[in-house]
Chains A and B, each alone.
Chain A
Amino acid sequence: MKKILLFVMGFAGVWIGTTPLMYAQDDLLSMLGTDSSEMKKEPVTATFKTTRIVNFPSVVNTAAGVLDIKIGHRFGFVNSGIGELFGLDQSTVRLGAEYGVTDAFMLGFGRSTFEKTLDGYFKWKIFKQTRGKGGSPLTVSLFGSTALKTQKTNNSDREDLFVNNLFYTGQLILGSKITEELSLQLSPTIVHRNLTARPSEKNDVLGIGAGGRIKLTKRLSLNGEYMYVLPDQISSEFKNSFSVGFDIETGGHVFQLHFTNSTAMIEKGYIAETVGDWAEGDIHFGFNISRVFNLKKK
């Protein structure tokens, strides 16, 4: 508990120091007095390059009328040796799509090859970070997802009921673009499993995630994310998810290249079922490709 507190405090500390923007006055134009458009609060844009940091939902939403096609790919563990070409022989894929209903509300769905899982979700930007006079330092979003495992469970003891394969995730995302280069976010999360793999595991799993990015150039950023799962909820074989990677942006595409110990690309998977251990070299190399299409002209 102490760890989390320190963590949160450190995080809050970084937030202080967001400087308000100042505008220089021009000679003739200064006669117009303070320009009302300059005083206006401006919502902060592009806190992250895309709607995901690596696996975590970011505070960024797809804009209204924009369709974002997502292809997520994870190779096998890099420590699997030359026989498996260091993991490149294996792959897990998630195909997904996201759509901005409004600038603040988006819907998404996807299908993962891992346990043949379908997932549907929404992200609602409740509160926007703004700059200017009276600006606020935080963006607050609510994320909710439902996942359905469609792979048959080979368990003769139990009937494979539909409801047993449902998983839910609720997440609050608190994010801030602290400077042009640095963005951070915290995501308190709850995952509910209708049926756990073992009776010893909790149905509800609480965790707190932290993620961020550092912009290295205008079109390249270094991303990282870590999910701390509160103790005594899941079996000890499961590890906390940790990923680092790069975002490379080229016009309408964002390519994300990363290393992660999580195989799954959906919440219930990377939060509660990550088996990879960074210390053991159980690391996946992977990538996400995001391509946006404007379905509706503004």
Chain B
Amino acid sequence: MKLTIISKKTNLWLATAMMLLMATALYGQSATAVKYFTRNASASFFSEAPLEKIEASTTSASSVIDMATGNVEVAVLIKSFNFKKALMQEHFNENYLESTKFPKAVFKGRMPEFKSINLTIDGKHTAVLKGDITIHGITKPLETKVLIRSEGGKIFAETEFELIVADFNISIPSVVRDNIAKMVKVKLKAEFMELKKT
């Protein structure tokens, strides 16, 4: 083994240098990266079928935006969705979304033109968000426009998009065909705060 040639002293020196290098690299990253987060974003969906309107919402979605890379992630707990009708909520969790098996809906994506957005200055922006959404264990590409407003260190974001129920391997039995729409409108609204590293 060639490694054994290096003396113990050099070995120690090398290790120290490596650690220093890593530390500076990490430090550099956290200094430039500006991340924003929320734990209580509101998410809601709405669908209208001939016989029934289905509406549900939650205010416990979480999200992180990394302005250094333009990466965005959103997660919503399926069980947190609140319906007006208790039985609808039960069926949503039990029969359609199977929330015990698939507890979360997750979006992971990027804003390609993030460099032209400076969130440290108050202002309004429209950005395209591109990525993948995973619901009920199925991942599908998603592209949506996001309205972003920065004001006094806080970031407000809003988006709306449509999802096709069948895309996510959620089957609608023929007996309730007129009760459940094939298309669902989803709305997300969030107030982000700066993520400060401890």
Q: Do A and B bind each other?
A: yes
Binds B, one of A36-44, A73-81, A111-119, A155-163: A36-44
The secondary structure that dominates the A interface is: loop
Number of interface residues of A (CB under 8 A): 30
In whole angstroms, how far apart are the Cα atoms of A35 and B63 in the complex? 11
| Chain B positions 8 through 52: 1 when the CB is less than 8 Å from some CB of chain A, otherwise 0 | 000000000000000000000000000101010000000000000
A contact residues around B173 at 8 Å (CB): 219, 250
Interface: A89 (CB within 8 A): no
Report the tally of A-B residue pairs with Cβ distances under 8 A: 83
Of B64, B79, B86, B101, which contacts A28 at CB under 8 A?
A: B64
B186 to chain A minimum Cβ distance, whole angstroms, is 18
Of chain B, the residue at the smallest CB distance from A27 is: B73
In whole angstroms, how far apart are the Cα atoms of A132 and B104 in the complex? 14
* A218-B95 in contact (CB<8A): yes
A contact residues around B60 at 8 Å (CB): 37
A59 to chain B minimum Cβ distance, whole angstroms, is 14
| Chain A positions 50 through 72: 1 when the CB is less than 8 Å from some CB of chain B, otherwise 0 | 00000000000001101000000
Interface: B160 (CB within 8 A): no
Given contacts A35-B39, A66-B87, A251-B176, contact A28 B62 (CB under 8 A): no
Interface: B2 (CB within 8 A): no
* B94-A46 in contact (CB<8A): yes
Given contacts A37-B77, A37-B80, A63-B86, contact A45 B62 (CB under 8 A): no
Interface: B103 (CB within 8 A): yes
* B62-A294 in contact (CB<8A): no
B168 to chain A minimum Cβ distance, whole angstroms, is 15
In whole angstroms, how far apart are the Cα atoms of A46 and B91 in the complex? 9
A181 to chain B minimum Cβ distance, whole angstroms, is 11
Binding site for A on B (CB under 8 A): 35, 37, 39, 60, 62-64, 66, 71-73, 75, 77, 79-80, 82-87, 90-91, 93-95, 98, 100-101, 103-104, 106, 108, 173, 175-176, 179, 195
